Amino acid sequence: MHYDLIIRNGNCVFPWGIEPANIGVHHGRILSLTVTAQDDADQEIDALGLYVLPGMMDCHVHFRDPGNSAVETIETGTKAAALGGITTVFDMPNTSPPLTDLKMLRWKQEYAPQHSYVNFGFYIGATRENTDQLGMLERQEGVCAIKVYAGSSTGSLMVEDDASLERIMLSGSRRICYHAEDEYRLRDRKKLFCEGMLYANHRLWRDEECAFLGTRRIVHLANKTNRPAHILHTTTQEELEWLLDYKNIATIEVLGNHLTQIAPECYERLQGRAVMNPPIRDQRHFEACWKAVQNGMVDVISSDHAPHGSDEKAKPWLCCPSGMPGVQTLLPLMLDHVNKERLSLTRLVDLMAAGPARIYHMPMKGRLQVGYDADFTLVDMKTKRYITNDWIATPAGWTPYDGMQVQGWPIATIVDGKIVMQENEIQNAPAGRLVHFQH
């Protein structure tokens, strides 16, 4: 039989285990897992010695488009994703202007596929003004979820009071994603600090109780309204232990940054480049995040890719913006963690492919199975590489992991059956498509 693409001799990570297989692709779908030597294809990849994963996803990125092309665009951000082995990204709504209405969504639905190298989804930002339209907006093509900023945002995207949060939960039915720091505590505590203090004060201002209180309030309201919640970038031991009793209503995201960096060392080494929300925390919380990954509590690992220019990040604390690049480095970091035996490769696939497909309701993604979308990430688990600033495709041009050696590296990124990246080279022009979500 003739296929569009054949991947031969790879160690394939299936839901039931890791097995050698020969995969045949036709019209963007997996058609066979048992391709024979007699079958041929327009393109073939010999994956001998490599692991073939379902397409890895990063469900939490800020591509600043429209907004600030000097630090990121959809084209540069998705190029970075492809170079890092990521086949699907979900973009946050705090652009300029923000993605909060149908007019902006229609523009982005047309614009994104023309400029994206990978599969693309959008969050709709919840506001007090668009609450009544959220049930309609969440069902539009390419919309992965509603995003609520209950803390740490500005303008109309900030929705911090319980009455408004409850109204949002009663509008629509899909799982809502939350930035769950408590805005009232953040405002009160900010009075204790001043511009120019040590960057390490960021984690003291935005302390454990800011996160824990925000998460408790949201989950209690989710229980009251029976509206599923997804708690983004969970960082504290307190949250993770408390959420154990609420897995019926709340799912959990943890970031690669909080599984890799530890305070206070990161602030001493990176200065303003370590500032992000919620903050990098100390060893106790680092170990709690890993425990939650290892015991199955965590559902999704993402990057929260949020680039800013070096000049902006060099400003004094309380003036420098929060966030750091991460979409290109997320998978190499996590593969290194696999090699350090902090988690298995099958668990990583669960967290970056099957988990996102389950949480966001993508019926054709997240596993290697006949009939599923032909998204693949091929990785070499033996290769050792240094992450460097000059490898980073994001125009901001830096990574907090500059100079770090990792073992495990993405070798090819295949989207919809098309080879987008191979051997660290982009192979085609942007040709992404919007993700289909089941409503």
Structure tokens at 252: 């959990």
Q: Which residues pair with 255 in a beta bridge?
A: 302
Residue 154 has pLDDT above 80, yes or no: no
Q: Which domains does the chain have, with CATH numbers?
A: 2-52+373-426 (2.30.40.10), 55-359 (3.20.20.140)
Helix, strand, or coil (residue 122): strand
Distance CA 361, CA 133 (A): 21
Distance CA 15, CA 346 (A): 8
Interval 193-241: pLDDT, tens: 999 999 999 999 999 999 999 999 999 999 999 999 999 999 999 999 9
Helix, strand, or coil (residue 351): helix
Interval 255-300: pLDDT, tens: 999 999 999 999 999 999 999 999 999 999 999 999 999 999 999 9
What angle in degrees, to the nearest 10, is found between the helix axes of 162-169 and 208-225?
Answer: 50
Strands 425-426 and 176-179: unpaired
On average, the pLDDT of the chain sits at: 97
The answer to whether the beta carbons of residues 318 and 193 sit under 8 Å apart is yes
pTM as predicted? 0.98
